A = this chain, B = another copy of it.
Amino acid sequence: MSSTNDQTHHSLIAGAPVAGTDGTTRAVDPARNAASGPEFSLLDNGQVAEATRAAADAFAGFRTVTPEARAAFLETAAERIEQSGAEIIANAMRETGLPEARLQGELARTANQLRLFAKVARAGDHHGVRIEPALPDRKPLPRPDLRQRTLPLGPVAVFGASNFPLAFSVAGGDTASALAAGCPVVVKAHNAHPATSLLVGQALSAAVADHGLPAGVFSLVYGRGNAIGQALVSDPRIKAVGFTGSRRGGTALMATAAARPEPIPVFAEMSSVNPVFVLPSAIAGGRDALADGFVTSLNGSAGQLCTAPGLLFVPEGSDGDDLVSRVTEKLSAAAGTTMLTPDICSARVDGEKTLASVDGVGELGRGGDGDGSNAPAPAVYTTDVETFAKSPELSDEVFGAVCLVVRYASAGQLPSVAAELEGQLTATVWIGAGSDTDTGSGADHQSARDLLEALELRAGRVLFNGWPTGVDVGDAMVHGGPYPATSDGRSTSVGAAAIERFLRPVVYQNVPEALLPAPVRGHNPWNLTRRVDGATVVAGEEENA
């Protein structure tokens, strides 16, 4: 991308710029509340079909490449993003107000995610192979030869998130996992960070070309937010949707997808207040560190993390009072930082006002406003558990550094409170040392057990003695959870298992060996771990099946 502002930039469809005919947009530098950077032309809804057609055309060629070819492509994408790292980070700072260190970490995570999915593609467990060889002598009926594997769903539409301009955006987890599955991807750029998006999109497109893949494997489209989003999700060539954003945005896409002549799955990560339950044993000591950790988790990235703690349950009594006053004290020394966009900032300010207006809710403390525009002070409110239980609106997400401290009389109250919560991405329990031993003893052991049984039904991730912000990207992570944390809790958008969202099974019955696809052939040419007659046969250890 040119670094001058003179040129108008365009959507990148199958590797080539395509000028939009629906006007232009520019980013807003949220720290200055002023338009910033070059213009980007916007596609009208009809032009979106150029990208989906290219994706559909690319599908046949892309889905059939070898695991090695797909993995090498993802690794090149990671390298090319790293090569453009300095320019990407400079633009992202200007467009999002996020600090350099955070964006450097996010860029590294983005590259690591692409490399994780390269590893996933190469290992090939996602092919999900299940083989039952023919049993011609079985009674009462012979068994045919049956070989199951997964196939990619087809072109996927991905909506970049405002709050992770790299790791949940153009080449983020949705894109990486869809590509690893063999699905071409059309990304709708988030209009809050258009230049960042283009630089990453150019890196991805270059990787497509480097490996001689069909150009339509990747496109990046700019358009007016809701309209182009609906057009993309309505397009019959699109077979699945990845989205990270607001509950309103996600549910609108879910409705559109469900109303199509051919309904398609929407994987939307939307809304979570990430309750944290501090058990009495956790604050017999160590309250200062706990207060520190909480304020850091709450106020990091201006509270604009999907997993930021929005509810903190603290026991009544002197230890609880002491914890709360330490939180208040540390908060007063903290300052707001620039939020991503003026709209997100004003929604957060309004959300705080609504929270403050509820009967029985009082302000506990707040920090200072940050420098520049759109940097409201972090704030903490408080109420009692009875008020909380009867006021469902107190569980609504306020996206930003706003938390409600709920004081409770007895840990026995917590499981039923937890059971009534909406679906969450995370739920956290703090318990004191002495309760976390193999003996199962300790003051809060039974409370923690009961709470865990309630929380595992309400969240995708349950953690102990830590803070929910910071999501490890690996084989075992779940970033998901029951509605409305996500549209459908049966999947994760972070970690290796995210690839499973974009696959479906097919079985081959008595298909001649010469016609079988590689994953299910008898001599296992891709060296996959497979199930044979219901038992797992690890790669390299099998007999021919």
Contact = CB atoms under 8 A, between A and B. Distances in A.
A336 B190 CA distance: 61
A474 B141 contact: no
A511 B475 contact: no
A335 interface: no
Interface stretch (A2-10, A143-151, A204-212, A394-402): A143-151
The residue in A123, A472, A482, A535 that gathers the most chain B C-beta atoms within 10 A of its C-beta is A472
Nearest to A494: B507
Contact of A465 (B437, B460, B472, B510): B510
Nearest to A441: B514
Contacts of A16: none
Contact of A515 (B64, B449, B504, B514): B449
Nearest to A154: B457
Interface string A464-488: 1110001010111110101110011
Interface in A259-277: 262-263, 265
Interface string A518-542: 0000000000010101111010000
B148 A476 contact: yes
A435 B452 CA distance: 59
Interface stretch (A125-133, A293-301, A323-331): A125-133
Given A440-B514, A463-B509, A475 B265 contact: no
B131 A476 contact: yes
Contacts of A439: 514
Interface size for chain A: under 10, 10 to 19, 20 to 34, or 35 or more residues?
A: 35 or more
A311 interface: no
Interface string A250-265: 0000110010001101
Contact of A436 (B258, B514, B534): B514
Contacts of A466: 144, 509-510
A165 interface: no
Given A452-B511, A514-B437, A515-B449, A472 B130 contact: no
Contacts of A60: 453
Nearest to A533: B475
A536 B534 contact: no
Interface string A14-48: 00000000000000000000000000000000000
A385 interface: no
Contact of A497 (B262, B505, B529): B505
A200 interface: no
Interface in A422-453: 423, 431, 435-440, 445, 448-449, 452-453
A477 B510 contact: no
Contacts of A131: 476
Contacts of A92: none
A263 B488 contact: yes
Interface in A98-156: 105, 119, 123, 125, 130-132, 140-141, 143-144, 146-148, 151, 153-154
A534 B472 contact: no
Contacts of A254: 258, 263
A79 interface: no
Contact of A147 (B255, B465, B476, B488): B476
A513 interface: yes
Contact of A472 (B146, B448, B474, B511): B146
A263 B463 contact: no
Given A148-B497, A436-B514, 7 more contacts: A131-B476, A254-B258, A436-B515, A461-B508, A462-B511, A482-B504, A538-B538
Q: Which 3 A-B pairs have the closest CB atoms?
A: A436-B512, A463-B509, A478-B507
